[in-house]
Structure 1
């Protein structure tokens, strides 16, 4: 098991490279299927990717990545994760079974590993026995969905599978005959889990830069395209600032000093981070479309990624900061209000103007928060 050292190990960083690839695949899936159906499919795939990553983070919070058997687990998960990632473009096509089997292998295999290595710790064994049972229940729907018609039933069955997995921690992993688990049994090292989630946010921000740079480098460098690229870069910096300057440090401090870090980690880092990372990925898609087609009209479909990503990110950050602070930040509420206000003037905007406006919102929120609480933040 892990000792008092909460630093992220090199084996964990190596493991995260698979998810750099996975997030790239997710954003490209939406880019190449930019429709309501494509958005629903991408959302499901994203939620699955996040879930397999965050569960691995919880496990690594307890295990020492310097131990040979733990490295073996990580490398096995990496192999399955590569198959999971490679199958994403055709997850709702001919590679649905590959995606489902890779996902099940990661979730169940990791849980069974923990059950075995926690011999002598009855509470921990009970937790991972419950987790494995919940994963067995969801596996039925993952496989059924993979065998169903890709266009008639797969999305619905996989949505049921995800609903089962996401409901598990909220019910205390209740299993008839075994009862419920309690968050006080979920001992976590707050600094480690906070740093792991921060690194995942960095992965998603890296995707924003990667998509923007790749798009701009492959097109003619016109003035509108250049302005859109620079605006997207400023937007990525704004995303980083809003998350890391206040929320991350305060959240990390609170979980390290909480009487029930398991409950806080479940809420603040397992669930509240979903809209944060999803908003960043959606923003990356909006940046690509704005850079590639800056003169195109800013209709509702385009605003869904450009403004929708910013709004989702701000809502998630507000929730996260509300958990670690006293209030939902006023700056984030105003930012959300400005996103709604921009929807009213979409008919008079093009994608370049919308891109600049969304970046301006992020910059305003960052400056507001810096002026109101940033300089006075003391978590040491």
Structure 2
């Protein structure tokens, strides 16, 4: 089935698209969907900055992880569903609109969740998104038969049951909510694993890899925006101009190197089985979450230099270097390590992770140092891949 250029009437049959389509690319609706989701990511980043600036590292990280998981998981479910069943009819577009509305409601509730532990608005927005996804799976069940219909029904029932669980979070004692969050998050992650037994949906490897790559770029772009705003606000502090410029320069180097490193290995060549796809897709929670946290960390570093953050220079720098190291390690673990040939290539990224973490202890100038370390890593990686037998890099080894 080829992707329609425009919706044909109100409804089209929601049958699976071929995973072998040529030139399959992200649609304008998918790109719009991503941009709306980044609004929620930005809100989570803003609250993380406030928490770190006040030295509330534990509660800040916890709140950020809970909010980001909801945003990321709703995005993941739509992405894989759309790769298999995007028929682009009017009902499909309206269902996507409902999901966008849901994430905007979730974003509006982020400040209450962080500041007052009031999760009502966030949960309401999340449930709206998931119910729209449930309706999409019911359409798949209606228009298909056999094992494919059974898989769609398992998705729909699983999603509906978990949403009931999220609704009950609002009525349990506050002290038990975290435990229920963990249980429900595990249940969310298990729905695809259970539903796909016996029948695998026809997602498109190149399309999925492109969608993840594009969302990673958008999140990194949001990081640049956040860092720019932070530096603009701090430029009135002329005495700290040198430190501010070092943070801005180091942050730009980090983000650009992160982009370069992420796209150095072709992700679609790893997506050859459901097991690999699950590992790669789920692992992006850490890649995307850390990418967004880098921007928050740069803002914290700027606020520390200008006297607005009540933490030490080392702690402020750590809010940049730790998520940067997590981004690098996860990207290496999920993708890059599978295309490395010898000791030099295999050791490059782990050594970089340790070097970036070590930059934390340089204090105010640690962000710039981390950016320079990553720039050197990119240079070494380019040199190593340019060797005569570099074609081997394009042949991932078996897991």
Q: What's the TM-score, normalizing by structure 2?
A: 0.81
1:196 and 2:211 aligned: yes
Give CA deviations for 1:139-185 in whole Å, capped at 9, x if unaligned: 243222223455x333332222112212334xx317xxxxx714x62
Q: What's the counterpart of residue 229 of structure 2?
A: 214
Change (3 A) 1:336 1:271: same
Shift of 1:115: 2.4
Structure 2 equivalent of residue 156 of structure 1: 179
- C-alpha change, 1:302 and 1:113, in structure 2 (3 Å) is same
What residue number does 2:247 align with?
228
Q: 2:12 corresponds to which residue?
A: none
Structure 2 segments unaligned to the other structure (5+ residues): 1-14
Residues 272 and 319, structure 1, Cα contact 8 Å, conserved in 2: no
What SS does the aligned partner of 1:6 have?
Answer: coil
Counterparts of residues 3-14 of structure 1 (less than 5 Å) = 4=21, 6-14=24-32
Write the deviation string for residues 199-231 of structure 1: whole angstroms up to 9, x where unpaired. 110121011111111111122252221221122
Q: Which residue of 2 aligns with 1:87?
A: 109
Aligned-residue offset at 1:27: 0.5
1:115 has 2:138 as partner: yes
Aligned to 2:335: 321
Deviation at 1:304, TM superposition (A): 4.0
Distance in 2 (CA, whole Å) between partners of 1:341 and 1:40 is 24
- The residue number in structure 2 matching 1:21 is 39
Runs of 4+ aligned residues of structure 1 deviating over 4 Å after TM superposition are 377-380
Query: Deviations 1:93-130 (Å, cap 9, x if unpaired)?
Result: 47522221221222233133222234224323222322
Name stretches of at least 5 consecutive residues in structure 1 with no aligned partner: 175-179
Find the aligned partners of 1:371 and 1:156 in 2 and give their Cα distance: 48
Secondary structure of the structure 2 residue equivalent to 1:25: helix
- Length, aligned pairs only: 357
Contact (CA 8 Å) 2:71, 2:103: kept in 1 or not?
no
Other structure's SS at 2:208 match: helix
Whether the 8 Å contact between 1:9 and 1:66 is mirrored in structure 2 is no
Do residues 282 (structure 1) and 286 (structure 2) align? no
- Per the alignment, in what secondary structure is the counterpart of residue 86 of structure 1? helix
RMSD of aligned alpha carbons: 2.6
TM-score normalised over the length of structure 1: 0.85
2: CA distance, partners of 1:363 / 1:323 = 19
Q: In 2, are the aligned partners of 1:212 and 1:288 still within 8 Å (CA)?
A: yes
How far has the Cα of 1:338 moved from its partner? 1.7
Matches within 5 A, 1:29-44: 29-34=47-52, 35=56, 36-44=58-66
Residues 65 and 26 (structure 1 numbering): CA distance in 2 closer, same or farther, change over 3 Å? farther
Residues 11 and 65, structure 1, Cα contact 8 Å, conserved in 2: no
Cα gap change, 1:188 to 1:338, in 2 (>3 Å): same
Task: Report the Cα offset of residue 195 of structure 1.
Answer: 0.8
Q: Give, in whole Å, the separation in 2 of the partners of 1:216 and 1:162.
A: 36
SS of structure 2 residue aligned to 1:273? helix
